[in-house]
Amino acid sequence: MGGRGGRGILAAPRPAGPITEPTSMKTRLSPVAPSPSLPAVHRRQWLAGSAGALAAAGIGGWHGEAAAEAAAAGKPLPDYVAWKDASSLIVHSSNTLETRRAAFGTSGITPAERLYVRNNLPPPAAAIVADRDAWELAVEGVKSPRRLTLAQLKGLGLESVATVLQCSGNGRGYFPSKPSGTPWTVGAAGCVVWSGVPVRAVAEALGGVADGLPFMTGTGGEPLPEAVDPKSAVVERSLPIKALDDALLAWEMNGAPIPLAHGGPLRLIVPGYQGVNNIKYIKRLAFTAAESDAKIMSHGYRITPAGGTPDPSQPSVLEMNVKSWINSPQAGPGPLSAGLVLIQGVAFSGGGSAVKRVEVSTDGGRTWRDARFFGPDLGRFAWRQFVLQARLPAGEHLLVSRATDTAGRVQPEQRLENLHGYNNNSWVDHGVKLVLA
């Protein structure tokens, strides 16, 4: 066949030229400092699989992910999530586990073993997932209210949707005001596929939503601590009834029954809304005339001015906002493409809008270039992965990303200050520093 065809295809591989150490081994990466003096964080690598190496690297001096990773080093996984991949997670507490920035992978879907956990109450006993189909949900505020078992729900319809699941406190670690609560950086988020029955199909099977009920209220099945007012502890959230359009009562996550830690046997999924609204172990779904008066609704998860006091008149944490961050700069092999760096991350929005553009800057936001989306488009509620190849000289580079959604909303430079550190989508906060030798 001519050309080099004379070489037998079973011949031993010919000796290759000398192999230069890839530039990736020399990368230095750290969060961009929101405050003056940020020590450089030295990391050998920044990709899935190398998470273990990060904890070992000399990290410190800042209250964000570096400090969190250092503090979490060696903390074991709680029993109920013993099946998770410890090297992918930062254990803040038994109810708060964060995915390492290096552990998101590049497949679009976050594996269950790497997905963050944030429980407002300790999860129920594992007995509730022993006979999943027997789980009961009370449906109220429909023409024919009744209890339905999970087995019955499974007969009413089937849909599957990929959504970003994100704690509204994700990014709290970047607030210089150090709000109380877990100092999440980027890892209180993931993108997963849920399967279940559309809430609309359930409501229709029960005669439809009764008239004049503008809220959809979900109640979690966590056992409540004794000796406290149940309303002060119950996980119960009310959403505007338009959330019904996309909501799912889900029994499956990423192709398997939802693990207890993630709300199995049955979870309310409200695509586009912050995590707390996706009620775990849902035991009651009610269309209601008013918002719940449970404390987690009336005073919790409110956008309270810094220095203020939470009250029900303040905006609640509902739909997510447009956001992106960078997960993995990675340098190319020296002799083939010296200075070439692949900058990769994720971008998403809320309110039913997909992300349509991501720009990346390697100089802290002075100049921008469009990144390329890659991988399957999992729909408007999922995140998109982006990548940009850049040729960078030795030295320090401040990498930031800025997303725009289909509604034209642009990720802002600055966070909106608030008492509890919710809804941080500042692009400058989420930047990373890359040091090339």
Instruction: List binders of a copy of itself among 128-147 (CB under 8 A).
Output: 132-133, 138, 140-141, 145-147
Nearer to a copy of itself by C-beta: 85 or 417? 85
30-38, 173-181, 291-299, 360-368 -> range binding a copy of itself (CB under 8 A): 291-299
58-66, 250-258, 362-370, 404-412 -> range binding a copy of itself (CB under 8 A): 250-258
- Nearest distance in Å: CB 41, a copy of itself: 20
- Nearest distance in Å: CB 241, a copy of itself: 11
- Nearest distance in Å: CB 212, a copy of itself: 4
CA distance 20 to 335: 7
Question: What distances in angstroms separate CA 18 from CA 23, 25, 335, one per listed residue?
Answer: 15, 17, 10
Q: At 355, is the secondary structure helix, strand, or coil?
A: strand
- Nearest distance in Å: CB 264, a copy of itself: 10
Order of strands, sheet of 146-149, starting from the edge strand that comes earlier in the sequence: 146-149, 136-140, 282-288, 215-220, 236-240
CA distance 259 to 112: 8
Nearer to a copy of itself by C-beta: 3 or 74? 3
For residue 197, what are its two tokens? 């029955």
Nearer to a copy of itself by C-beta: 7 or 366? 7
Q: Are 184 and 190 in contact (CB under 8 A)?
A: no
Burial per residue of 204-217, b for 16 or more beta-carbon CB atoms within 10 angstroms, e otherwise: ebbeebbeebebbb
Residues 354-383 that bind a copy of itself (CB under 8 A): 374-379, 382
For residue 348, what are its two tokens? 């998403």
Question: Is residue 94 near a copy of itself by the rule CB under 8 A?
Answer: no
Instruction: Report strand pairing: 267-269 vs 248-253.
Output: antiparallel
Residues 195-214 that bind a copy of itself (CB under 8 A): 195, 205-206, 210-214
Question: Is residue 436 near a copy of itself by the rule CB under 8 A?
Answer: no
* Site map 101..120 versus a copy of itself, x via CB under 8 A: ---xxxxxxxxxxx------
Question: Which one among 65, 69, 98, 236 touches a copy of itself, defined by CB under 8 A?
Answer: 236
Question: Which one among 30, 277, 385, 423 touches a copy of itself, defined by CB under 8 A?
Answer: 385
Q: At 100, is the secondary structure helix, strand, or coil?
A: coil
For residue 337, the 8-state DSSP code is H
Residues 158-187 that bind a copy of itself (CB under 8 A): 158-162
Question: Is residue 19 near a copy of itself by the rule CB under 8 A?
Answer: yes
Question: Which one among 200, 231, 356, 409 touches a copy of itself, defined by CB under 8 A?
Answer: 231
Residues in the chain: 437
Whether the ω angle into residue 145 lies within 30 degrees of 0, i.e. cis, is no
